[in-house]
Amino acid sequence: MKKKLVMIGNGMAGVSFVEQLLKLNPGRYDISIIGAEPHPNYNRIMLSSVLAGDAGLNEIVLNDWDWYQDNGIALLAGQEAVEVDAAKREVRTDRGAALPYDELVFATGSLPFMLPLPGADKEGVIAFRDIKDCETMMEAAKRYRKAIVIGGGLLGLEAARGLLHLGMEAAVVHNGPFLMNRQLDETASRMLRTELERQGMTFLLNKQSAAITGESRVTGLTFTDGTRAEADLIVMAVGIRPNAGLAARSGVSVQTGIVVNDYMETNLPHVYAVGECAEHRGVAYGLVAPLYEQGAVLAKRLAGAETAGYAGSVPSTKLKVSGVNVFSAGRYTDDPGTRALRVQDDLDGIYKKVVFENGRVVGAVLFGDTSDGSKLFAAIRSGKDYAGSERELLFGPSGGGGKPAGAEDLAAAMSGDEIVCGCNGVTKDMLVDAITEKGCASVPELKACTKASGGCGGCKPLVEAILTSTLGADKVAAVKEGICGCTKLTRDEIVGAIREMRLTTTKEAMHVLEWSNPEGCSKCRPALNYYIGMAFPEEHEDERASRFVNERSHANIQKDGTYSVVPRIYGGVTTPEDLKRIATVAEKYRVPLVKITGGQRIDLLGVKKEDLPGMWEDLDMPSGYAYGKSLRTVKTCVGNTFCRFGTQDAMKMGVDLEKKFERLDTPHKVKLAVSGCPRNCAEATIKDLGVVAIDGGWELHVAGNGGTRVRAAELLTKVKTEEEVLEWTGAYLQYYRETANYLERTSEWCQRVGLDAVKAALADKADRDALNARIDATLGLTRDPWKEIIENAELRSAFETLTAPADAK
C-alpha cells in the first residue's frame, strides 16, 4: 500500500518539491495538498507583472487543476489546515476534513508583516501577497486616486510601479534614507530613486508612520514628525514573517521559522518543512531560488534517493520594474576586510560594484546594466579565488579598454555550471542539454523543458543569448513557436496534417507528428481533441481524458470543490413548470445557492459531485454547457412580443439560434444575443455574435467581448429574414471553428485574421452553404451529455466515482 504524504500549503516551494518527488518516485505516495487559497499553484512572483499590466491573472497559473488530477493528487483548495495531531499522525482542516499521514510537509510560506498602527484595520489597508490583494488594488484603482506604499523594498517598489500603471498616484513611505537598503548600497539606491521619480513615483524618506486616519475607509497616514499624507489606499510592504504558527502549536520546534536540519527534517519524526516557513541554519529565505534548492533535497529524501544535505544559499535579486535594471547578490556593503571594485558612469546611468574578501567574490550590485549578473552570481557561489584577476570579472582578460562583450559572447564564455535562471535553479549546462539533446529551439520551448525564464523573467535575455550562441543566430531566427513545448508544429501545420493523414485520435496524432512528450501535456491534448473532432466529426470519438476538468464532469467546479448545475433555458425564456422543477430539485438536493446568471439562466451552486447525475435526471432539462468551450447562452430582450419599441421577435430568434447551435464544440466559449430594436437591451454588440433588429431586417455584429478585454462587436452584414440570420450565423461559426486556434475567442481570432478576411470568406452564398453543410453534419451528431450519462449505467457509475481535484479523501 502506498504511503500517505500530506502537504500543508499549495505555494511555489511546496508544489515544486512535489513535482520533483513525482519525477524521482512517482508511485511512492498518495499525495494530498491542503491549500488555503482557492486557486491551483500560481506564480506569486508574477503578481507584480499582473499589477504592472505585463501579464493577466489567467497567465500565472503554474500547475492547473488538471495537473493535480493527472498526477492523482487530492487538492483541498480553499481549505486551511487548523490542527495537526502528531501523535495520531493526522491533519484537520477548517472544513472538517481529517487527513491521516505517514509523512507531513509544512510548506506554509510567509505572512506579510502588518505594522500595528492605530487604524490599520480600516478598509483600504492591505498587504501585497496574493491574488486577492492584487484584485483589491486593481478594483481600488478604478475608484480612488491616491495610494501610499509603506516600505521601500523590492515588494514596495514593485507594488508602487503597478499602482502607477493602474493610474493611481503612488507615494512610497520608507523608514530609512535609502531605498532597497537590504539589497543596494547608497550610490545604487540614489540612482534607483532618480529613475523611479522620472517614472512618476514620489518618495517620503526617513519617515516613521504613526497612525492611519479615516472613518471606516482610510483617508491618510500621519507620521511621528507631525506631518501627514493623504491616501485612499495603503499597501504595507515592510517585510514578511515565516508562517509557522500551526507548526508551533503542533509541537514542532519554531524560532523565526520552522527549524529544519540539512534534510529539511523538523524535530518531530516524519514532519518536514520547506519554503519560506522553514528556518535553516538560522536563515528563513524570502526568494524562490533557495526554496527550490530546499525542495530538491527534500524530494530526494522522501523519494528514498541519496542526497547531500542542503547547505544554505546565497540569494540574488532583481527588481521587476520595467525600464530599471537592478541586480544585487550576497554582501554588498563595505565591511572591514572587504575591498570593492567600482565602475560608475553617470552619463549612461550605469553602476557596478563587486565586493571581494580574500580574493573571493562575496557580493555584487549592478545598476543600469545587469548583464554581468549571472556571471557574478556564479562567481559568488563558486567561492573561486580571483586574487590578481579581479578586474577581468568586469572588463575581460585585457583588463579594460577593449570592446565590451555582447550578450552572446558572455553566454559563450559562461561555464556550464553557472546558474542562468536563479528562480528555477537552471544552469547553462541544463539549457545547452535541452537545446542539443532535446531539440529545444526557442525560449518558450526551453521554458517548457527546463522552466528557465518562467519565474521573474529576468533571465530571459541570457536564455536567448545561450540559445543563439549554441544554435547559431540563423537557426533561432528560423524557429517558429509550436502550440506547446511538446511540438514545434504550429496550429495550421497540425490541422493540415490531421486532415491530410486522416489522424483520428490524439495518440495517433502525437505519435505520427513526433511529439517530444509522447503523452502530450494539458495544453496540447485538449487542442488536438478539438481539432480532430472539428476535422472528422464522424470518425472522431471524443476523448474524455483530453478534456479540461469542467468539461469532463459536465459541470463547473467551484472553489470549495463543489459543482454548479446550469440547465439550458433557451433564449432566457422559461415556463412555470420548469421553474417549479428547478425549485423542487434545489430543495431536494439542499442546493445552498440559487442564482440568476448574467446569461439569463439559473445556476444551482454548491452541488456535491455524487448528486450531479441524480439532479440532471430530476431536472429533465438539457445541459446549459456553462462549463464548455461551446455555445453558452443566447441572451434576448423581449422584442416586439411585449415591448412597444420592438420591431422584430427577438425571443423567437434567440430561441431558434440556441436550439440550432447548442452542444457545438467551438475553440472557446461562444455567447450570442438578440435585441428586438437598435436600443439593444440584450447588449448584443459585446457578444461573439450579436443580432440587432432594424427596420425591415437584422444586423449581425461579430467578435465582441464583455470580459476582461472589453471589445465592441463589428458589423458583419445586414440581412432581411430569420432564415438568413441562421444561415450567416452557421457559416460564421463554422468558419471560426475551422480557422481559429484552440482557446482563441472570436474577438482575438477576428483581430488576428482581420474582419475583411472573414467577410470575404462568407461573401459567397455557395461558400456559406458549404460551411453550413459542414456545421449541420457536426450538429447532427451531438447528443445531450447529461442525458447520455443518466442513460448509461457505466458512464453514470464512472461519473459517480470521479475524483474532484478539491476532494478530501
Ligand X SMILES: NC(=O)c1ccc[n+]([C@@H]2O[C@H](COP(=O)([O-])OP(=O)(O)OC[C@H]3O[C@@H](n4cnc5c(N)ncnc54)[C@H](O)[C@@H]3O)[C@@H](O)[C@H]2O)c1
Ligand Y SMILES: Cc1cc2nc3c(=O)[nH]c(=O)nc-3n(C[C@H](O)[C@H](O)[C@H](O)COP(=O)(O)OP(=O)(O)OC[C@H]3O[C@@H](n4cnc5c(N)ncnc54)[C@H](O)[C@@H]3O)c2cc1C
| Contact positions vs ligand SF4 (CB under 6 A) | 637-639, 643, 645-646, 650, 675-677, 679-681
Specify the stretch interacting with ligand Y by CB under 6 A; choose among 283-291, 462-470, 539-547, 725-733. 283-291
- At a CB cut-off of 8 Å and minimum separation 6, what does 710 contact? 686
Q: Which residues of 534-563 are buried (b: 16+ CB within 10 A; e: fewer)?
A: bbebeebeebeebbbbbbbbbbbbbeebbb
Burial class (CB in 10 A: 0-12, 13-18, 19+), 252: buried
By CB under 6 A, residue 151 contacts ligand X: yes
Work out the angle at residue 29's Cα, subtended by the Cα atoms of residues 27 and 31, and round it to the nearest 5 degrees: 120
Given ligand FES, ligand X, ligand Y, none, residue 80, with its beta carbon under 5 to 8 Å by kind, binds ligand Y
Query: What phi and psi, each to the nearest 5 degrees, are found at residue 594?
Result: -115, 125
Nearest approach, Cβ of residue 56 and ligand Y (Å): 15
Cell for 567? Answer: 440547465
Instruction: Report, in Å, the least distance between residue 206 CB and ligand X.
Output: 9
Calculate the CA 4 to chain-centre distance. 28
Q: Choose from ligand X, ligand FES, ligand Y, none: what does 81 bind? Cβ within 5-8 Å by kind.
A: ligand Y
At residue 546, the 3 state secondary structure works out as helix
> According to CB under 6 A, which one of 29, 65, 128, 786 is a site residue for ligand Y?
128
Question: Which residue bears the cell 450570442?
Answer: 672
Q: How far is the CB of 278 from ligand Y (least distance, A)?
A: 8
Q: Of 455, 485, 571, 676, which lies in the binding site for ligand FES, with binding defined by CB under 6 A?
A: 455
289: Cα within 13 Å, side-chain hemisphere:
23
Applying CB under 6 A, which of residues 457, 599, 706, 805 lies at the interface with ligand FES?
457
- Judged by beta carbon distances under 5 to 8 A according to partner kind, the member of ligand X, ligand SF4, ligand FES, none in contact with residue 423 is ligand FES
- Does the protein bind ligand X through residue 153 (CB under 6 A)? yes
CA distances to 28, 130, 347, 389, 693 from 23, in Å: 11, 28, 50, 42, 58
- Residue 459 in the binding site for ligand FES (CB under 6 A): yes
- Per the CB < 8 A criterion, the answer to whether 219 and 245 are in contact is no
Task: Verify binding: residue 320, ligand Y, rule CB under 6 A.
Answer: yes
- The minimum distance between CB 65 and ligand SF4, in angstroms, equals 39
Select from 420-428, 660-668, 740-748, 776-784 the region that touches ligand FES (CB under 6 A): 420-428
Q: Hey, how many other C-beta atoms are within 10 angstroms of the C-beta on 227?
A: 11
Q: How far is the CB of 126 from ligand X (least distance, A)?
A: 13
Q: How many CB atoms lie within 10 A of CB 804?
A: 21
Q: Give whichever of 291 and 434 is closer to ligand Y, judged by the CB atom.
A: 291
Shortest reach from residue 443's CB to ligand FES, in Å:
11
414 binds ligand Y (CB under 6 A): no
Stretch that binds ligand FES, among 98-106, 178-186, 346-354, 415-423 (CB under 6 A): 415-423
Residues 131 and 121: their CA atoms lie apart, in Å, by 20
Specify the amino acid at residue 67: W
For residue 722, the 8-state DSSP code is H
- In this complex, which beta carbon is closest to ligand SF4, that of residue 6 or of residue 637? 637
Phi-psi category of residue 359: left, alpha or beta, with phi > 0 → left and psi -120 to 50 → alpha = left
Q: State in angstroms the smallest separation of the CB of 133 from ligand Y.
A: 8
Residues in binding contact with ligand FES, number by CB under 6 A: 12
CA separation for the pair 17, 758 (Å, rounded): 48
Phi then psi dihedrals of residue 58, to 5 deg:
-70, -10
**Residue from 66, 185, 276, 649 in contact with ligand Y (CB under 6 A):** 276
With CB under 6 A as the contact rule, which of the stretches 128-136, 158-166, 453-461, 761-769 interacts with ligand FES?
453-461
Residues 6+ apart with CB under 8 A from 519: 510
Who contacts 187 (Cβ-Cβ below 8 Å, separation ≥6)?
342, 344, 351, 353, 367
CB of 273 to ligand FES, least distance (A): 24
Q: Which residues make up the interface to ligand FES (CB under 6 A)?
A: 421-424, 452-459
Q: Which residues make up the interface to ligand Y (CB under 6 A)?
A: 8-14, 34-37, 44-45, 47-48, 80-81, 107-110, 128-129, 155, 243, 246, 275-276, 286-289, 291, 320, 423, 456
